[in-house]
Amino acid sequence: MSDASFDVTANKTGSAPPQDAGFPDFFALLKPRVMSLVVFTALVGLLAAPVSVHPIVGFTAILFIAIGGGASGALNMWWDADIDRIMNRTKDRPIPAGRITEGEAFGFGIALSAISVVMLGLATNLVAAGLLAFTIFFYVVIYSMWLKRWTPQNIVIGGAAGALPPMIGWAAATGGISIESLLMFALIFMWTPPHFWALALFMKSDYDEAGVPMLTSTHGRRVTRNHILVYTILLVPVSFALLFTSIGGPVYLVAAVLLNALFLRGAWRIWNRDEVAADADEYATEKTVFKHSLYYLFGLFVAILIDAVLRSNDLLGAGPLGIWGI
Amino acid sequence: MAFFRKSHEMHTRRFSRNMGLGVVLAAFVALVFGLTIAKVSQEDFAVPDTAKGVGYGESD
């Protein structure tokens, strides 16, 4: 990555001339769509915890977890500006479009990282702040700077950064780490590879042209299809393990059965066809599985939330599944 | 008078950015105020010994 120096004051060769950035451009640096997943999973982690949190403290915690996640997104855009210019999906981002300089993005990301970690520590506790700082470090340094352009396993290991928000939310409420928060982390960690590889199958040209070693180009699309099936099978026991903790409940049980069946069926269909069939229907199956993978994660976390609400209103009994006698 | 001086072109151009930043800073102040009230209102809140100052509790 010789082109990604620490000279943050100037745009790299090939940039559009800088213009005055508006407020929405800085907001776009935070990757709002990624931030929405961070907010949602962190909120579930915070609300599912067996400790009640003052609403203002809870709001502050979620806000600064979101800002910390956004800051790591800004630093990722600063580091990846050179490949963002190449990929169709990213060439309209604020830096490649010339609306924000790389120096501005770097300063913005560093400042927000520091503010978010300090404010989360003041509002909640040092464990939550430490986890947020680790998340930012992991996403920017381990994933963006090291793994992303080096190994096709980039999103497997890098997925840890996206899996940490529910642990941070849980830690913000409880002040610690537990089997429940670790399993929520594991659920997102195991979900990320099949989700992202399904995307890589139908977004092939973007990553190839940018030189990002995705599994599809380094090991071939047949191997990627195999990996999607294997990782989805491995995801199933992880998702069911949550049932046997204090946050499992009947709603989660139903959701886990239905959503795992749906995701497994999709992974099986991806595995069971070749590129000729995929080209013929313009990757319809891969696109559907990618969409279903989003429903999968959203559905399971909504189920955790519903069970938490039922439990807080004494509508669920004791026992690992939250049902009397089980 | 400076008050009636026409805005520099740069200020006009950066109005939305500056206004956005102003709103964010005001919201941050309000949030810190609300957080402070929430913290000191909690049942387990206690003033740390180091913050009580000289003479605290002498009349006890």
Complex prediction ipTM: 0.76
The secondary structure of A172-233 as a DSSP string is HHHSS--HHHHHHHHHHHHHHHHHHHHHHHHSHHHHHHHT---HHHHT-HHHHHHHHHHHHH
Which positions ≥6 away from A116 have C-beta within 8 Å? A64, A65, A67, A68, A71, A132, A136
Report the pLDDT value the prediction gives residue B46, as an integer from 0 to 100.
Answer: 77
> What's the domain range around A267?
178-326
Contact criterion met (CB < 8 Å) for A57 and B37: no
Question: For residue B60, how many other CB atoms are within 10 A of its CB?
Answer: 4
Are A223 and A85 contained in the same domain?
no
Distance CA A151, CA A305 (A): 36
- Residue-level pLDDT at A222: 92
Task: With beta carbons less than 8 A apart as the criterion, state whether A107 and A114 touch.
Answer: no
- Tell whether A106 and A193 lie within a shared domain: no
Q: What is the mean pLDDT of residues B46-55?
A: 67
In this structure, are residues A251 and A303 in contact, taking their beta carbons and an 8 Å threshold? yes
- Helix A165-174 to helix A102-123 angle (10° resolution) is 30
pLDDT of residue A296: 97
- Looking at the fold, whether A10 and A133 belong to one and the same domain comes out as yes
Contact A60 B35 (CB under 8 A): yes
8 Å CB contact between A76 and A95: no
What pLDDT score was predicted for residue A9? 43
What mean pLDDT value characterizes chain B? 78
Exposure on the CB side of residue A135, measured as CA atoms within 13 A:
32
**A239 in the same domain as A158:** no
What pLDDT, on a 0 to 100 scale, did the predictor assign at position A1?
A: 36
CB-based contact B38 A54, cutoff 8 Å:
yes
- Looking at the structure, do residues A71 and A212 belong to the same domain, yes or no? no
pLDDT at site A4: 37
Q: What is the Cα A184 distance to its own chain's centre?
A: 12
Contacts of B31 in chain A (CB under 8 A): 60, 63
**The pLDDT value given to residue B57:** 56
Residue pairs spanning A and B at CB distance below 8 A: 30
In chain B, what percentage of residues exceed pLDDT 90?
30
User: d(Cα A1, Cα A209) in Å, to the nearest integer?
Assistant: 15
Q: Please, are residues A30 and A105 in contact by the beta-carbon 8 Å criterion? A: no
Domain boundary among A158, A177, A196: A177
Residues A20, B39: C-beta atoms closer than 8 Å: no
| Domain identity same for A4 and A146 | yes
Task: Using pLDDT thresholds of 50, 70 and 90, give the confidence band for residue B8.
Answer: confident
Q: Which of A177, A195, A213 is the last residue of a domain?
A: A177
Same domain for A217 and A189?
A: yes
In chain A, which residue's Cα lies nearest the Cα of B11? A20
Task: Mark out chain B residues that contact chain A at CB-CB < 8 A.
Answer: 13-14, 16-17, 19-21, 31, 34-35, 37-39, 41-42
Tokens 């080096």 belong to residue: A150
B53, pLDDT greater than 70: no
Q: What is the pLDDT of residues B13-45, one digit of tens each?
A: 778 888 888 999 999 999 999 999 999 988 777
Shared-domain flag, residues A186 and A149: no
Q: What's the confidence (pLDDT) of residue A10? A: 45
- Does A21 sit within 8 Å of B17, measured CB to CB? yes
User: What is the Cα–Cα distance from A138 to A131, expressed in whole angstroms?
Assistant: 10
Q: What is the CATH number of the domain that holds A147?
A: 1.10.357.140
Which residue in the block uniquely carries the two structure tokens 């195999």? Answer: A226
Flag if A54 and B42 touch (Cβ within 8 Å): yes
**Residue B54 C-alpha, separation from nearest chain A C-alpha, in angstroms:** 26
CA distance A23 to chain B (A): 5
Dump pLDDT digits (tens) for A33-53. Answer: 889 999 999 999 999 999 999
Per-residue confidence (pLDDT) for residue B14, from 0 to 100 = 78
Interchain pair A23, B35: CB under 8 A = no
Residues A182 and A286 in one domain: yes
pLDDT number for residue A88: 83
Q: d(Cα A80, Cα A91) in Å, to the nearest integer? A: 11
Residues in B touching A22 (Cβ below 8 Å): 16-17, 20
Looking at the fold, whether A38 and A167 belong to one and the same domain comes out as yes
- Both A164 and A186 in a single domain? no
Task: Record the pTM.
Answer: 0.86
Q: Pick out chain A residues at pLDDT < 50.
A: 1-13, 325
- Is the model more confident about A209 or about B57? A209
Which pLDDT score is estimated for A17?
53
pLDDT of residue B55: 57
Closest partner residue to B14 (CB to CB) among A20, A63, A122 is A20
**Between the CA atoms of A80, A85, A91 and A95, what dihedral angle is there, to the nearest 10 degrees?**
60
Q: Does the beta-carbon distance from B35 to A21 stay under 8 Å?
A: no
pLDDT at A3: 37
Instruction: Return the pLDDT at A116.
Output: 98
What's the number of domains chain A is made of?
2
Domain boundary among A155, A177, A199: A177
pLDDT for position A261 = 97
> Do residues A35 and A95 both lie within one domain?
yes
- List the alpha helices (DSSP H) in chain A: 23-29, 32-48, 55-79, 81-84, 102-123, 126-137, 154-163, 165-174, 179-202, 204-210, 215-218, 221-241, 250-271, 275-280, 284-312
Joined together, the tokens standing for residue B25 give 């800073």
